[in-house]
Amino acid sequence: MLRFDTLIIGSGLAGLSLALKLADNQNVAVITKKSLLDGASAWAQGGIAAVLSQNDSLDEHIHDTQVAGAGLCDPDTTRFVIEHGAAAIDWLISQGVPFTRDAASDSGYHLTREGGHSHRRIIHAADATGLAVQETIAVKARAHPNITLLERHIAIDLITGKKLRRDDNRCYGAYALNSANGETVTIAAQNTVLATGGAGKVYLYTTNPDTATGDGIAMGWRAGCRVSNMEFIQFHPTCLYHPHAKSFLISEAVRGEGGTLKLPDGARFMPWHDERADLAPRDVVARAIDFEMKKRGLDCVYLDISHQPVEFLKEHFPTIHSRCLSLGIDISRQPIPVVPAVHFTCGGVMTDLHGRTDVDRLYAIGETANTGLHGANRLASNSLLECLVFADAAAKDILGKPQGQIPELPQWDESRVTDADETVVISHNWDELRRFMWDYVGIVRTTKRLQRAQHRIQLLHEEINEYYRNFHVSADLLELRNLVLTADLIVQSALSRHESRGLHFSKDYPHMLPEAIPTVLIPPGYRAA
């Protein structure tokens, strides 16, 4: 059995930031399914939103966040995150993150603007901000003597008092599978943190990496945590449409720098849908694209930034420019074919302002958590900000707690399982789930479609749980188990919301109700913290 002061499940910006903030005072372990840079944080292009200019204000950033969130943002959380934004950026700069500079700016850095923002407030490192941030802090995490990195390990489940038949509501660590050798590891910890990212791989088309399988949300639910607002799945409006470009995002900053969405005949269509046109929030733009594609039978629409000089494009969007060029698309001369794709999970495991969940000594931060910041729709570039602020808040809470006794934990029991006879069941169920979620629980929903999805999820649940009980676990099986549970939570939440708000649009309930109420799902045997 391995023992640590804090176990962090996930190595994105939230997880690694927390590890660095704890490691001078604690022994910390970080579990990651692949390598440190394989999460969604490293894929983030646009940047991090924060009030850094004298022309901007906290109140305006708060207002923009609340407008995008369609009235569902928690006001205390929103103010808490935005008030701590500048300090979060200062910490990253102190770590050595190479943000793009601008001598003419009062902040000293180039700030861009994205949909839903009233000011330029997105600090970035060209168009590969997430990668620049992750590479910088990953180097520091690898070098720290108190951080143990368990790469190619996937968490199986949390170890709680309930599992140990103890009369407490506490987390004691987790079981993890070493996917390199197939061995199962028992990890005991004073504190356990879910930082596994979102659940984009529930859907057929997503901008997320393959690691985004809802693991933390599913584990938190099984451990007894409430989840909230799972119906709000953000579809990024502009994913590159090309047979050889898997999940390549075209940053919202392209529209922030003057890019316009067009039909194949060159006509702009966003002014027909919203007065903010191409700078409307993501839910509005994604629905507009979906509408135009279905109305006209289109495979994609086009994002045109060709009016900008090629030098400008190479400076501000070097990754997008070179990637498109490698596929035969010269963005300085022709528009970029784009389609919407699942981008962000706004809901998740419910937490307070310290990242604490309903289970004692269990925290959730980053996309896994539902802090109340995003409401019914996340404002662009608020996600990395949330990761940083709640990593800091959780670190302070963890360091302020006394160390307790961790009992000897039982080893993972494999005495009643055998090797799987056919793994085709896993791949078939994976494909089926992602396809019907895209068809039935997509950008525009109906009650009948949601009920069809729910029926199929129940059948998959039965098959997968039987498989889980009888055969040795594998990474693919664990991810599928978590995906199906997360899909079920999404559909339950969508069925319970009888209105259209933010990212959840129902043809059966097209109007928004006067009062914004979060959707809260309560797990079986729930115990309040």
Q: Are residues 198 and 282 in the same domain?
A: no
Residue 273, both tokens: 């849908």
pLDDT at site 162: 87
Please tell me the pTM assigned to this model.
0.91
Same domain? 482 vs 437: yes
Residues 318-327, mean pLDDT to the nearest whole number: 93
Classify residue 524: in a domain, yes or no: no
Q: Say if residue 155 is in the same domain as residue 247.
A: no
Token readout for 59 is 């109140």
CATH code of residue 289:
3.90.700.10
CA distance 214 to 126: 29
- The domain boundary residue, chosen from 341, 376, 411: 341
Stretch 399-420: mean pLDDT: 84
Distance CA 258, CA 262 (A): 13
Amino acid letter, 413: D
**Rounded Cα distance, 157 and 172, in Å:** 11
Question: Are 186 and 67 within one domain?
Answer: yes
Q: Catalytic residue among 222, 226, 282, 497, which?
A: 282
Question: CATH number of the domain that 491 lies in?
Answer: 1.20.58.100
Domain count within the chain: 3
Give domain status of residue 410, yes or no.
Answer: no
Please check whether residue 415 lies inside any domain of the structure: no
Same domain, 20 and 158: yes
What is the rounded distance in angstroms from the CA atom of residue 241 to the CA atom of residue 336? 8
Q: Is 356 a catalytic residue?
A: no
Average pLDDT of span 511-518 = 96
CA-CA distance, 26 to 316, in Å (whole number)? 40
Q: Which domain holds residue 469?
A: 424-513
pLDDT digits (tens, 9 = 90+) for 132-161: 999 999 999 999 999 999 999 999 999 999
Rounded Cα gap, residues 68 and 72, in angstroms: 9
Within this chain, do residues 277 and 154 fall inside the same structural domain, yes or no? Answer: no
The answer to whether residues 196 and 255 belong to one domain is no
Q: What is the CATH number for 28?
A: 3.50.50.60
**Cβ-contact 471, 419 below 8 angstroms:** yes
Q: Is 333 inside a domain boundary?
A: yes
Instruction: Give the residue from 322, 341, 360 where a domain finishes.
Output: 341
In this structure, the number of other CB atoms found within 10 A of the CB of residue 413 comes to 9
In this structure, are strands 301-304 and 336-345 parallel, antiparallel, or unpaired?
antiparallel
Confidence of residue 103 (pLDDT cuts 50, 70, 90): confident
* Positive or negative torsion for Cα 350, 356, 359, 364: positive
Does any domain span residue 443?
A: yes
Do 243 and 334 have their domain in common?
yes
Residue at which a domain ends, from 293, 308, 341: 341
Does the pLDDT of residue 359 top 70, yes or no?
A: yes
- Alpha-carbon gap, residue 504 to 485, rounded angstroms: 19
If asked whether residues 350 and 331 sit together in one domain, one would say no
Q: Are residues 209 and 255 in the same domain?
A: no
Whether 263 has a pLDDT exceeding 80, the answer reads yes
Q: pLDDT for 222-237, tens place per residue?
A: 999 999 999 999 998 8
Q: Report the share of the chain in percent with pLDDT over 90.
A: 74
The tokens describing 163, both together, are: 């599992």
Tokens of 440: 């039935």
Model pLDDT for residues 29-74, shown as the tens digit of each residue: 999 998 877 776 776 777 999 999 999 999 999 999 999 999 999 9
Of 243 and 497, the one with more pLDDT: 497
Task: Give the strand pairing for 336-345 and 233-240.
Answer: antiparallel
Whether 168 has a pLDDT exceeding 70, the answer reads yes
- Residues 443 and 392 both lie in one domain: no
Look at residue 204 in the predicted model and tell me its pLDDT.
86
Dihedral of alpha carbons 509, 343, 81, 228, sign? positive
Q: How far is CA 5 from the centre of its chain?
A: 26
For residues 378-393, give the mean pLDDT: 95
Query: Is position 467 within any domain?
Result: yes
Bridge partner list, 362 = 192
Flag whether 523 is in a domain.
Answer: no
Does residue 417 sit within a domain?
A: no
Contact 55, 104 (CB under 8 A): no
The amino acid that residue 199 corresponds to is: A
Residues 184 and 73 in one domain: yes
